Amino acid sequence: MSTILRDIQRTDDLSDISEKVETGERLSAEDALRLLKSPDLAELSRLADLVRWRKHPEPVVTYICGRNINYTNVCWVRCKFCNFYRPPGSPEGYVLSKNELYDKIQELVDLGGIELLLQGGLNSQLKLDYYIDMFSQIKERFPTTHLHALSVAEVRYIAKMARISVKECLTRLREAGMDTLPGAGGEILVDRVRKIISPRKDTADEWLGVMRDAHEIGLRTSATMMYGSVETLEERVEHLVRVRELQDDTGGFTAFIAWNYQPDGTELGGTRATPYEYLQTIATARVFLDNVDNIQASWVTQGPKIGGVSLAYGVNDFGSTMLEENVVSAAGACYAMPIEEIERIIRDAGYEPRRRTTLYKDA
C-alpha cells in the first residue's frame, strides 16, 4: 500500500481515537488534526456527545440573558477581518454618552438580563480613568449586572497608556466593577496568521499572557477561536493546544467558543466557512479540550438551525440572547433570537433550557 493510501486510511479510520475518548485518555495534537480532517461527521458527533454527557450528565442546555454593548467603534488597529471599526477622525466614529449607555443597560435589566458584554475599540481618547469611572457608575446604578468587559487588546492598550503593568491594570478594573474578561481577540493563536489578519494587534504569547494574568488575580475568562480566514488546519490545532496548555496551568477558562470568519465588506475578503466545517471544528474542540467544562454555540454566526444541530456535537451552552450585536453583523451575519425561540430550539433538541450566570451557575 502506498504512503498516500495509508495516510488516507489513517485519516478516515478513527477507531484508535474513539478508544481514547471512550476510556478518557487525553488526545494528542495529531489526533485533533485527524478529527478536523475526518469526513465522518457521525463519528465526530458521537465522540463529542459522549464527552458532553460525561461532563454534563443532566439533559440541560444553558443560556444567559445578556446584551452586547459597543461603547465605541473608534479603533486605530485596523484588523483586516473587522468591518465594524472606524479610524480616528472618521465622521462615523462614536463614543456612547453615559445616558445612551445607561438606557441600553436599563433595557437589559427590564428584561431580566444580567450579563453586560461591554467592548469597543482601541480609542486613544479613552484612558484608564474613563474605564474606572464607567465601570464603577454602572455597578452603582445597576448592581445586579455582571460586567463581562473589554478584550485582551483593550486591556493591553489601557495599561500601556497608563504606564502600568497588565496585571495592575486588570486589578484596578476589577476593583472598579469588572467581573470577568471575554475571550475576544483570540482569533488563531499563531503569529503567522495574526501578522496577516491583525498585524498591529497582540501576538499569541501576549494574548495568552493577559489571560494568565487575569486568572492569577482571580478573574475568570472565556477562550475563543475565529477560524476560516487564512489559517491551516494544523494552525487551528495549535490554537487548541495553547488553550488547553494554559487551562492546565490556571483553570481560569469558563468556556470555549468558536465562530467562523465573516468576510463580507472586510479588507481581508475571502469566503465563509460552511456549517459542515463548523460542526467538525466544534466537535473536535469538545473532545480535545478535556479540561474546559463548557462549549458554547455560535448561533450568531451560524444561525438558529445549526445552533440547534450543534447540541449534538458537544455543545452544552447556547450562549447569550445577544440583545444587541454589532461587530459580527457588520460583516454579514444578521441572526437574532428572542428568549422564547432559544428555549424552543433547546427543547426541540431534547434538552431542558436553563438560564445561567456568566460563571455557569443557575440564574
48 φ/ψ angles, rounded to the nearest 5 degrees: -65, -40
Domain-located, residue 33: no
Per residue of the chain (363 residues), give pLDDT as tens. 444 444 444 557 999 999 999 999 999 999 999 999 999 999 999 999 999 999 999 999 999 999 999 999 988 777 766 777 788 888 988 999 999 999 999 999 998 899 999 999 899 999 999 999 999 999 999 999 999 999 999 999 999 999 999 999 999 999 999 999 999 889 999 999 999 998 888 999 999 999 999 999 999 999 999 999 999 999 999 999 999 999 999 999 999 999 998 877 777 877 888 999 999 999 999 999 999 999 999 888 888 899 999 999 999 999 988 665 444 444 344 445 788 999 999 999 999 999 999 999 998
CB < 8 Å & 24+ apart, contacts of 171-175: 171/217, 172/128, 172/132, 173/131, 173/132, 173/135, 173/149, 174/217, 174/218, 174/219
Domain-located, residue 85: yes
Domain-located, residue 119: yes
Domain-located, residue 65: yes
Residue 167 Cα distances to 126, 164, 170, 207, 313, angstroms: 19, 8, 5, 13, 36
Distance CA(320)–CA(322), nearest Å, equals 5
Domain-located, residue 45: no
Kindly report the CATH number assigned to the domain that includes residue 102: 3.20.20.70
Domain-located, residue 334: yes
Question: What residues make up the domain containing 327?
Answer: 50-355
Could you give the dihedral angle defined by the CA atoms of residues 180, 186, 190 and 194, in that order, rounded to the nearest 10 degrees? -130
Domain-located, residue 349: yes
pLDDT tens for 267-302 read: 787 788 899 999 999 999 999 999 999 999 988 888
The set of cell numbers assigned to 188 is 488563531
pLDDT tens for 303-317 read: 889 999 999 999 999
Domain-located, residue 103: yes
**Residues belonging to the chain:** 363
> Are 22 and 40 within 8 A, CB to CB?
no
pTM: 0.91
**Quick one: pLDDT at residue 314?**
98
Q: Count CB atoms within 10 A of the CB of residue 167.
A: 16
